[in-house]
Amino acid sequence: MDDREQELIYDWNEAGERWTRPPFRVQLDDETLRDGLQSPTVRTPTIDEKLRILHLMDALGIDTADIGLPGAGPHVVKDVERLAREIRDARLNVKANCAARTLEADIRPVIEISQRVGIPIEVCAFIGSSPIRQYAENWTVDSMLRHTEAAVTLAVQNGLPVMYVTEDTVRAQPETLRRLFRAAIRCGATRLCLCDTVGHATPMGAQNLVRFAAAVVKESGAEVGLDWHGHCDRGLAVINTIAAIQAGATRVHGCGIGIGERVGNTPMDQLLVNLRLLGWIDNDLSALPEYCRRVSESTHVPIPPNYPVVGRDAFRTGTGVHAAAVIKAYKKGQDWLADRVYSGVPASIVGRRQEIEVGPMSGESNVIWWLESHGIEPTPDRVRAVFGRAKAVDRVLLDEEIHAVLAQLA
C-alpha cells in the first residue's frame, strides 16, 4: 500500500498478529495438465490446448509444471514428450516434472523422454502413506520402503531430480513418515511433497505437518525442499497452502480454476492472487484471465459467474449505492480509488476493470454512467426511459435491450 491508500484504508490484516513474508522465494508447481485432469467430469485437452496452457503458465511466472504421467501409456508419453520439447524449443522458463508411481515401469518412461528431449525432468515419485491406505492396499511399511528406495535410486542414478511424494500425508503416522522420508533422502531425493490428498487438513494441521517434515530434513543434514499439495474438500485449500508456506513449504501446488479429483485441487489462480496481495510474490498476473479461460474451455469446466477474480461478476455491480461510489471515484480521475472503493481485490492486477451495469437495483447514476461510457448523451428523457425499463425487469439489462429502449425515443 502506498501512503494515499494507507490513509484511506485501515488494514486490520496488518493491525496485530499477521502473516509475515517468508524468508525464501515461494515457488509454484502447476498440476493442471496432470492431477487436474483426474476429475471425472473434465475433458482431456488436445495437445494444442495443452501447449497454449503451458505457455500461459510460463507467462504467469509459474516455476514447474506437471506435464503428465507417462507410465499410463503411449498416448500420455506422446503428449509429455511434445510438451517437454516445447519447453526446450521455446526456451520457456517453466520447468517440467512428471508424476510416477514408485515403480520402475513408471519411472523408465520419464528417463527415456528426458534423454530423447535433452532436458532434465523432475520425477514426482508417489506412494500412499496413511494407515487407512496401507490397510486397503495390504501394504507393509517394509514393502513401502523397498519401493521408495528402488524408485528414487533409479531416477537419481539416471541423473534426474526426484520429488518424493507421500500421498495422504496429513493422515499418516509420524514414525511411518519419518522412515519413508529418511529413505527417500538417503537415496537422493531433493524434495519431499506433503499431500492433503483427500482435503482433510486444517491450516493448523498443514503447519504441524510441514514443521514435522522440516525437522526430519534438518536431522538428515541434507538440502531438501518441502512441497505442499492440497485439495479443496473442506473449502480450505488456499488458506491451508498459505499456512504451509508460513511453516516452511518452499513450493506449493495448484490447478487452474481448481480442477481436480472430487471437488478439486488448490485453485492456482486464487493462490497467485492471494500471494500477490500479501506481497509474497510479484508475478505479472495480467495473463490470469486468459489462463483460466483456456483451462475452462479446454476441459469443459465452466467458470461460475461469482468465481473469485476471473468470474464474470467479480468486478461488476448493478447496485445503485455501490455503483455510485465507483462512479464518483472515476470522476475524481483516480482509477486506483475506483478499483478499491467496493473491491478487496483490485481488478487492475489481472488486467480487468470495474464494470457498472443497469438493473432493478440500480440508481439513475448507473444509467448516466452507462450512457456516457457508450458515447451517448444522458438526456433526461433517455435516463428516465432506461431507468424505467430497468425497474420493470428482474435482472441486469443487456446492452441490446438498452439500445432498443433508446431507439424507441428516436
Show the domains of the chain with their CATH numbers. Answer: 22-299 (3.20.20.70), 316-409 (no CATH)
How high is the pLDDT of residue 52? 98
Supply the pLDDT for residue 2: 65
Does this model's pTM top 0.85?
A: yes
Distance CA 50, CA 299 (A): 10
Q: Which three cell numbers stand for residue 285?
A: 498476473
| pLDDT tens digits in sequence order for the chain, 410 residues long | 566 677 888 888 888 888 999 999 999 999 999 999 999 999 999 999 999 999 999 999 999 999 999 999 999 999 999 999 999 999 999 999 999 999 999 999 999 999 999 999 999 999 999 999 999 999 999 999 999 999 999 999 999 999 999 999 999 999 999 999 999 999 999 999 999 999 999 999 999 999 999 999 999 999 999 999 999 999 999 999 999 999 999 999 999 999 999 999 999 999 999 999 999 999 999 999 999 999 999 999 999 999 999 999 999 988 888 888 888 888 887 888 888 888 999 999 999 998 889 999 999 999 998 898 899 999 999 999 999 999 999 999 999 999 999 999 87
